[in-house]
Amino acid sequence: MNARGALGRYGEDRAVRLLTDVGMSVLERNWRCRAGEIDIVAVDGDVLVVCEVKTRRGGVFEHPMAAITPRKAERLRRLAGIRLHRCGGPPGGVRIDLVGVLLPRRGAPVVEHVRGVA
C-alpha cells in the first residue's frame, strides 16, 4: 500500500471508530459498483448512512470539509440509490454524512462528523 492509501485507510479507521462511538452500526466499508465507491455504509437508527471520509495532512491542503462539491454530492446520491436498490436498507431513508480527519503537523488528529451534507 502506498502512502496515500495508508493515509486514507487510517482516516477510514478513525471514522469507523467515531461512528460506532456515537451508536451507529457500520455495515460495510469500501462498497463498490461500476459507478464508484462508498467509503462507509452505516445505519443510524432507521436511516441508512452513506459516509464519505476525507483525510488531510495539516498545512497547505484544503480542509477535509471542503471536499463535498455539488458534483461529489450528486455522485454520492447516485451511489446511495444504487446501494439501496441492490441491497435494501432500513425504512427511514438515506442520509449522506462526511467525516473529515485532519492530521496536524503536531498533536492529535482532529476528527469531525457532519450529518446530512448532501
In a domain, residue 72? The reply is yes
**pTM for the predicted model, two decimal places:** 0.90
Q: Which residue numbers in the chain have pLDDT < 70?
A: 1, 59-62
pLDDT in tens, 90-110: 889 999 999 999 888 888 998
In a domain, residue 87? The reply is yes
In a domain, residue 113? The reply is no
In a domain, residue 49? The reply is no
In a domain, residue 114? The reply is no
In a domain, residue 51? The reply is no
Whether the Cβ atoms of residue 53 and residue 41 lie closer than 8 Å to each other? no
Cα 14 to the center of its chain, rounded Å? 11
Phi, psi (rounded to 5 degrees) for 92: -90, 10
The pLDDT assigned to 59 comes to 67
In a domain, residue 96? The reply is yes
In a domain, residue 117? The reply is no
Full domain range(s) for residue 96: 3-37+57-102
Burial category of 64 from C-beta neighbours within 10 Å (exposed 0-12, middle 13-18, buried 19 and up): buried
User: Looking at the 3D structure of the chain, how many domains does it have?
Assistant: 1
The pLDDT assigned to 44 comes to 97
